[in-house]
Structure 1
Amino acid sequence: MPSNLLTDILAYAEQAPTPVSPADITEQVGKPRPTVNRALAKLVAEGRLVMSGAGRSTRYHLPADSASTPETARAGIASPPWSMPSRALIAALSTPIGKRPPVTYPRAFVDRYEPNISSLVPPALAVALHSAGRLQGQQPAGTYLRKVLEQLLIDLSWHSSRLEGNRKSLLDTRELFERGRSANDDLDATMLLNHKEAIEFLADAVPTEGMTVPVVRNLQSVLMQGLLDDEEDLGAIRQKIVHIQDSVYLPAQVPSLLEEMLELIVEKARRTQNPVEAAFFLWVNLAYLQPFVDGNKRTSRLAANMPLLLANCAPLSFLDVAQADYAQAMLGVYEQTNVAMAVDLFEWTYRRSILKYRVIEEAMGVQDPLRARLREQLNDGIQQIVYHGNTLASAIDRLSLAPDDLEPFKAMLEKELKILAIHNCARYRLPIKKTQEWIDAGRPY
């Protein structure tokens, strides 16, 4: 391959203010498109050029020491430092879509996986991430998530929705969550509010129900309410054909197979001892299977938090992940059953989550043992008073507390009622509007 062609491509990428498309490069260097494509694949494989996106969204740029592209740097979004296996995968995916062979879902990807023997995440990395992300000491399942829930509602809702093309800003999201639903909500607002409610459902259901298929199906139904043409598709196993845009991957189309594989995926994740490996397994396999008519990727992102929640590990909120990087990591799984990019992306963003939520958790200090032991009763008591309008005495009577716990619990409940506000009501599963009405009424109890 002529070295001057490679030099010309690199020179053009260097002077371009934004990542460039294959069509732009072809026009600039004046060579046939197949020749340019081979040159691009070579440059990507050698690490001299970085490819992002897929299909018509494919763009190229020079690597940077910070691992950020010019496009993502301006948006405050970095990219993971891709490993050599990931770079090789990127090169393979740079082949024009017309030259990539069509592929469908291989159930062997799940069938051959043996929990605690097989691994998608390198075992040493899974152990390291588990060690870094877990909450110290013995605590009830979900304790970590409850501590950081208010921030997680914003983080995971916004970052996950942004990966779906949502146009709301982070500030818009905060204001939307404070206001709640309205008749004038557009699709972007509905997507964000659905995420918030799905995360709250996750926090409530998983500690008591565990990792189950009904929980996963309910996650999809909450995430997609008001966003599907047919409401019967909410939580239902897909009966319709779906296609993946800009990919040669055709998901399985047999409902009985989709249902069988969904059961198997959740069952194998439940048996996996390392919660980081289980989280990655769920994230990749739920998106790969495409069991629902829509919302599969967003369901997979929230479902990945189930094993982390149960093990009291930092939640995974996909902080700062670029759309192009995410799409290409998924494309590697769909078309090559290759998780190299997905592993790099997962490690990079989960380490960011660990650092962020550790700071929040540490800032909250050591948890009161009484609060930890009677957390659910405290939640129920506050709901009885604020949402249902019961008196303090009536709410406590309904909880059937041990005699020695009555007075300290009453004092704790009264303290919480005095500081309850619309900015902290989510941890008690209270709607913002209902909380504000109770406050406006003079905090009756």
Structure 2
Amino acid sequence: MSTTNLDKAILDCIGQHQQSGNEGVAASLIQQQIGRPRPTVNRALARLVESGELIRLGAGRSITYSITYSFSYQNTAKAPSASQVEQPQASYFNTSRSSPGFQWSNKAHKVVAALAAPLGTRKPITYQRSFVEDYEPNQSTLLPRALATNLFNAGRAKDQLPAGTYARKVLEQLLIDLSWSSSRLEGNRKSLLDTRALFEKGRAEFGDRDSVMLLNHKEAIEFLVDAVPTEGITVPVVRNLQSILMRDLLDDPSDLGAIRKKIVNIQDTVYLPSQAPHLLEEMLTLVVSKACEVRNPVEAAFFLWVNIAYLQPFVDGNKRASRLAANMPFLLSNCAPLSFLDVGQQEYALAMLAVYEKLDVSLAAELFEWTYRRSIDRYQVVVESMGDPNPLRVKYRNQLGEAIRHIVFYGLKLNQAVAEVSISKADHAVFVDMLQEELDTLQPYNCARFRLPMNKTAEWIKQKRPR
């Protein structure tokens, strides 16, 4: 049995038990059901825990394993469709779609209870521009000030580095984590294993909207990591972000990146977004400009996430755009990225609903803190596993990227590419070795770090990596 088949057998086994109501499944039961040696099963379980597809519960002999999102392996849901109606993010009170390990505070339960009232008893409300206009950067706060400071200190890189360095270090893991987590919140049915295989393949089959959604997320994240350190937090970056996320998913291509001129309704809420294009454009500009003024990147990230989703400036993809846009302040400040790890549809929908109907950010703040702490822990482990960087790689980082672009994009021979960059004679042989190693491992799913298009990289690989 191949590694992929073994992992799938384990995930299927655990998923079946979780659907029957079991919180976790013991390794001994998994081994018994799939008929593989215990050491083989243990190694596979450790690998799946490390990749984030499983979580380990308990300790000692009572350890069990749970799929991060059990329903990711069910294939009975209807594929999402593009429309001018923003879709609900699952039934708000469906516990099967809740976040593993997350609990609302006692204070939050009062807000949740109010949101559980029948729609007919809740007062209809539209967009309130005062929510942004009354916010004074560095004086007002949406997050408790102490919490924002604590999260910033926990998540920031300890060294003074160029903007975007942290994200580029963890880019390969971030592409999978954020693409899958954000897509899952939109009802995507692909598993983590499916996502990894899709990114290696680099293309979707005809009619596979779930794969298109994931690939769009991947491309949008690569765009962010490349654009934000040089362009900053701007309205054009946000609009381009939506255009990439919704590529091939909208009926009208003219809606890509465009401020909405069509009516949008959000199901299962009494909130009606503004339908005035001039107001949408004005408020998006104000949201972005105020976010740029906020000194604490955690507060700025939270401000962008909440306000873009609340404003609904686009025909579709607003929540997706808000999740990725929240990472812009982290990119500029070299903080751990936010990938919405382990966030369930139920909690996410409730957090947004409280903002929409009550301008209450308390649920969003609790969910944000919980998932960002998980992101911090995840990417610190990724960075630590890399060890200290090779000093010559750091020294010649830009020259390596330039040489690789000369070879892959412009078709130069290796010796020509090396001649085009400035390398000392003493380091020439080592530089060539590093260059060869990078060219050997270059793939469409990791080419963004060298600012290479995925299609061009795939074409070069298909030609058997000429150099």
Q: Which bin holds the TM-score, normalised by the shorter protein?
A: 0.7 to 0.9
1:277 counterpart letter in structure 2 = E
Structure 1 Cα separation of the partners of residues 459 and 251 of structure 2: 34
Query: Where does 1:258-407 land on structure 2 (aligned, <5 Å)?
Result: 258-372=280-394, 374-396=396-418, 398-399=420-421, 401=422, 407=428
Residue 415 of structure 1 deviates from its aligned partner by: 3.8
- Using the size of structure 2 for normalisation, the TM-score is 0.76
Residue 59 of structure 1 deviates from its aligned partner by: 3.1
Structure 1 Cα separation of the partners of residues 331 and 453 of structure 2: 22
Note if contact 1:178-1:432 (Cα within 8 Å) is conserved in structure 2: no
For 1:63, the equivalent position in structure 2 comes to none
For 1:142, the equivalent position in structure 2 comes to 164
- Deviation per CA, 1:359-395: give whole Å up to 9, x if none: 0011111224554465344323212212331123443
For 2:173, the equivalent position in structure 1 comes to 151
For 2:93, the equivalent position in structure 1 comes to 59
Query: Where does 1:69-218 land on structure 2 (aligned, <5 Å)?
Result: 71-72=96-97, 77-182=99-204, 184-218=206-240
Evaluate the alpha carbon distance shift between residue 361 and residue 114 of structure 1 in structure 2; reply closer, same or farther with a 3 A threshold. same
- Deviation per CA, 1:256-295: give whole Å up to 9, x if none: 1111111111111111111111100000000000011110
Evaluate the alpha carbon distance shift between residue 131 and residue 440 of structure 1 in structure 2; reply closer, same or farther with a 3 A threshold. same
Structure 2 Cα separation of the partners of residues 153 and 235 of structure 1: 22
Evaluate the alpha carbon distance shift between residue 397 and residue 288 of structure 1 in structure 2; reply closer, same or farther with a 3 A threshold. farther
Note if contact 1:54-1:328 (Cα within 8 Å) is conserved in structure 2: no
Note if contact 2:104-2:366 (Cα within 8 Å) is conserved in structure 1: yes
Structure 1 Cα separation of the partners of residues 451 and 90 of structure 2: 43
1:310 counterpart letter in structure 2 = L
Q: Give the SS at the match of 2:189.
A: coil
Identical positions, percent? 62
Residue 417 of structure 1 deviates from its aligned partner by: 2.4
Note if contact 2:202-2:445 (Cα within 8 Å) is conserved in structure 1: no
Q: If you compute each CA radius of gyration, which structure gives the higher value, 1 or 2? A: 1
For 2:435, the equivalent position in structure 1 comes to 413
- Deviation per CA, 1:151-204: give whole Å up to 9, x if none: 111111111001001111111111111111245251111111100100010111
Note if contact 2:119-2:270 (Cα within 8 Å) is conserved in structure 1: yes
Structure 1 Cα separation of the partners of residues 295 and 204 of structure 2: 43
Runs of 5+ in structure 1 lacking a partner? 1-15, 19-52, 61-68
Q: Give the SS at the match of 1:157.
A: helix
Evaluate the alpha carbon distance shift between residue 437 and residue 329 of structure 1 in structure 2; reply closer, same or farther with a 3 A threshold. same
Aligned residue-pair number: 383
1:57 counterpart letter in structure 2 = S
Evaluate the alpha carbon distance shift between residue 185 and residue 207 of structure 1 in structure 2; reply closer, same or farther with a 3 A threshold. farther
Residue 427 of structure 1 deviates from its aligned partner by: 3.0
Answer with 286-295 or 183-192: which moved more.
183-192
Q: Give the SS at the match of 1:57.
A: coil
Runs of 5+ in structure 2 lacking a partner? 1-19, 23-86
Evaluate the alpha carbon distance shift between residue 184 and residue 123 of structure 1 in structure 2; reply closer, same or farther with a 3 A threshold. same
1:242 to 255, 264, 281: 264
Evaluate the alpha carbon distance shift between residue 405 and residue 108 of structure 1 in structure 2; reply closer, same or farther with a 3 A threshold. farther
